[in-house]
Amino acid sequence: MATNPSSTVVRAWARLVKAQQFAQGAIESRLKAARLPPLAWYDALLELERPGTCGLRPFELERALLLSQCNLSRLIDRLENAGYAGRRVYEQDGRGQVVVITAAGKSIRRRMWAVYGPAIQGALGAHLTPHQAAVLDELLGAMVAKSTAHQGRRAPLVAEPAPLHVRPAAGSTNSPTAQRRRLRPASRRAARRPS
């Protein structure tokens, strides 16, 4: 376990970092140029839209997004201030919450995908043949799976990144079952339009 990596593994690691930084930089700057929210918002909104309309507990989002608890809490703040998500009390456990996506959240996610999708293609897809993409996908998938299973000290991580990106998401915007029992501190930061 404490052995040194081969030079191939080291080079692969260096390139993994560079490739990710490069692609993320390009994507992030395209979103910014379109005056859209950052990537992290998209990921969160996508997760929230995924499981029907029931919403997600913050700690579930935390694992799905690989975020620390405190940062997730503040990300939800921002989404809430922007009107893209809302907090509901979790009836079965007074400590807990359920985070739900709003209609505006669904809308902005779709608008982001219109930029995000082509940006992925430009940063990754354009440089790979379909076969290369499949091989890369397989290798990285195996790595992620082993990482989460093996040394999964932080969190189990979401099982699959999953390709879902545009979906009807049948159901009403607000869950009628959540009765809004008022959330605890509620001393949230002042709202700021993401403009």
Which residues form the interface with DNA (CB under 7 A)? 29, 32, 38, 40, 57-59, 67-71, 73-78, 87, 90, 93-97, 183-185, 187-188, 192
Ordered DSSP codes for 29-69:
HHHHHTT---HHHHHHHHHHHSSTTS-B-HHHHHHHHT--H
Please give the distance of CA 100 from its chain centroid, rounded to a whole number.
Answer: 14
- Under the binding rule (CB under 8 A), the answer on residue 7 touching its own copies is yes
**What does the per-residue mask of binding to its own copies show for 114-133, with x meaning CB under 8 A?**
---xx-xxxxxxxxx-x-xx
Which option in its own copies, DNA, none does residue 107 bind, with CB closer than 5 to 8 A by kind?
A: none
Beta bridge partners of 85: 101
Taking the least distance from each CB to DNA, the nearer of 71 and 132 is 71
The residue written with tokens 């000290």 in the block is 153
Closest-CA residue to 52 (of 165, 164, 169):
169
Taking the least distance from each CB to DNA, the nearer of 129 and 151 is 151
Taking the least distance from each CB to its own copies, the nearer of 107 and 147 is 147
Among 34, 54, 104, 143, binds its own copies (CB under 8 A): 143
Which option in DNA, its own copies, none does residue 32 bind, with CB closer than 5 to 8 A by kind?
A: DNA
> Distance between CA atoms of 155 and 64, rounded to whole angstroms?
9
